[in-house]
């Protein structure tokens, strides 16, 4: 097997074996603690621009399963694992991980000490890195450019280190457009599905770009219409909405507020996505306008961050981020702790929240903001992933909270007053309804709190 090297920006070198495509790739080196869900990780657009390290030692044991993809292609810049399973076994398996990475053009490395790598990233913070394999690795090793595995900065060619340090993730949201399959762009889902072997291909997008709609609604018709703004949306966000009878229209990231409103949605979903949230100035401005429409809004991950920015808060980059399926968050109203799936390198600064915003969830490990409820508009958001695929489903009820918020606002607009059911009635309505903490995202607040005063306040 070919040799491969992972070179970090601080000069640390890890020697391993090559997997996937051969060549050279540079990205931001991060780690995820998920024990399963490697396919969802590889196809999650939020990992755009990053070299992803799996802390769980064995990866690839159930092969490649197209139905589990979160988008139509892999968005990682590189992939790092301790042990690669070359002979997967699963009744749904359609291929092996190494072949999938080759088809996707992803340069990978395995056989390195991922515990040592993770420890270094935890202590020093995420840093850029480079994976080199194949002829490129042989050439660099032959002339001493790759330094010595485990050696200091002096062992790596200065030009290589300069190239690694110069890398920066920019324009990430626009780069992943089409990831969700209904707003296709160059390099999006249509391209990827066509390139994959038949056993691992996923359905191609419906033609028509922003006009196209994924829908799986009851024969009697959709109960609600939700506009999903695609900042790099995971497929399971759409699936969770459709499970609840929603007609989902997925719109590109640069869709203006007026166009969104013209589609007459009952609710607006702000999706996950990659990169620095503060970079998306134009998108944030359109979200600010949407806040003044009175349409219920639910933000997840990047959507959570950009909604907060639109309301006047600030964001900051975390030392090494939260990535994996075992992150505890505390509901500040009920005191209950949930285990969540997360994937982000930035967080909203809790101290910067405006008076009308309230932190609803906090990270039990480091105290960072994990959720926000807005008292003056029908909107709430969370940093973690309630759609969790893969990961725990503890917070899946947040989609039900969103449905109730939509219904309450819709019935209020029809002149029927607040729509919050009693606890007894709610308990019969479905999962998550009728919990002691129901309504903490505004579902139980009086209609007056979302009146003209609040709407005007964010125009």
Based on the residue annotation, tell me whether 301 is a catalytic residue of this protein: yes
Tokens linked to 90: 């699963």
Based on the residue annotation, tell me whether 186 is a catalytic residue of this protein: no
Place of tokens 């969103």: 402
The answer to whether 305 and 289 are in contact (CB under 8 A) is no
Tokens linked to 440: 């903490």
Handedness of CA 433, 438, 444, 445 (dihedral sign): negative
Tokens linked to 14: 């890890």
Peptide bond into 215 cis (omega under 30): no
Tokens linked to 62: 């159930």
Place of tokens 């080199």: 132
The answer to whether 28 and 133 are in contact (CB under 8 A) is no
The answer to whether 107 and 23 are in contact (CB under 8 A) is yes
The answer to whether 33 and 7 are in contact (CB under 8 A) is no
H/E run at residue 239: helix 235-243
H/E run at residue 252: strand 246-252
The one catalytic residue among 214, 225, 344, 385: 385
The one catalytic residue among 370, 387, 389, 458: 387
Phi, psi of 381, deg, nearest 5: -155, 160
Q: What's 443's DSSP letter?
A: T
What's the rounded Cα separation, in Å, for the pair 35 and 247? 33
Based on the residue annotation, tell me whether 385 is a catalytic residue of this protein: yes
Phi, psi of 384, deg, nearest 5: -85, -175
What's the rounded Cα separation, in Å, for the pair 24 and 106? 10
The one catalytic residue among 301, 369, 389, 458: 301
The answer to whether 240 and 172 are in contact (CB under 8 A) is no
Instruction: Please report the DSSP string for 316-327 in residue order.
Output: EEEEEEEEEEEE
Catalogue the active-site residues.
301, 385, 387
């Amino acid at each position: 097997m070919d040799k491969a090297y992972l070179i970090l920006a601080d000069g640390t070198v890890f020697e391993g074996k090559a997997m996937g495509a051969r060549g050279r790739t540079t990205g931001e080196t991060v780690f995820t603690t998920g024990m399963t869900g490697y396919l969802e990780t590889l196809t999650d657009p939020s990992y755009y621009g990053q070299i992803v390290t799996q802390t769980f030692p064995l990866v690839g044991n159930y092969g490649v399963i197209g139905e589990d993809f979160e988008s139509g292609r892999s968005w990682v810049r590189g992939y790092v694992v301790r042990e690669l399973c070359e002979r997967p076994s699963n009744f749904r398996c359609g291929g092996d991980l190494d072949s999938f990475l080759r088809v996707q053009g992803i340069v990978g490395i395995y056989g390195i000490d991922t515990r040592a790598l993770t420890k270094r990233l935890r202590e020093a913070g995420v840093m850029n890195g480079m994976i080199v394999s194949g002829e490129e690795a042989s050439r660099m090793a032959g002339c001493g450019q790759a330094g010595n595995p485990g050696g200091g900065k002096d062992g790596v060619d200065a030009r290589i280190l300069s190239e690694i340090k110069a890398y920066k993730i920019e324009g990430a949201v626009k780069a992943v457009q089409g990831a969700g399959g209904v707003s296709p762009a160059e390099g999006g889902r249509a391209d990827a599905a066509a390139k994959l072997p038949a056993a691992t291909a996923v359905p191609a997008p419906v033609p028509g770009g922003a006009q196209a709609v994924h829908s799986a609604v009851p024969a009697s018709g959709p109960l609600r219409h939700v506009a999903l703004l695609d900042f790099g949306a995971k497929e399971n966000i759409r699936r969770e909405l459709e499970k609840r009878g929603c007609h989902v229209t997925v719109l590109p990231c640069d869709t203006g507020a007026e166009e969104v409103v013209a589609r007459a949605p009952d609710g607006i979903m702000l999706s996950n996505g990659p990169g620095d949230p503060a970079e998306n100035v134009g998108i944030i401005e359109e979200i600010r306008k949407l806040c003044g429409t009175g349409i219920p809004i639910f933000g997840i991950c990047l959507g959570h961050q950009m909604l907060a920015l639109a309301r006047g808060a600030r964001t900051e980059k975390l030392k090494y981020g939260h990535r994996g399926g075992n992150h505890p968050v505390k509901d500040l109203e009920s005191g209950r702790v949930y285990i969540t799936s997360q994937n982000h390198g930035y967080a909203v600064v809790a101290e910067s929240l405006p008076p009308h915003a309230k932190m609803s969830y906090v990270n039990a490990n480091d105290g960072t903001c994990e959720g926000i409820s807005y008292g003056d508009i029908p909107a709430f958001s969370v940093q973690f992933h309630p759609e969790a695929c893969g990961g725990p489903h503890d917070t899946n009820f947040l989609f039900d909270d969103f449905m109730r918020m939509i219904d309450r606002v819709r019935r209020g607009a029809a002149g029927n007053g607040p729509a919050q059911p009693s606890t007894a009635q709610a308990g019969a309505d479905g999962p998550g309804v009728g919990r002691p903490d129901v309504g903490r995202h505004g579902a139980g607040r009086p209609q007056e709190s979302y009146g003209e005063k609040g709407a005007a306040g964010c125009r």
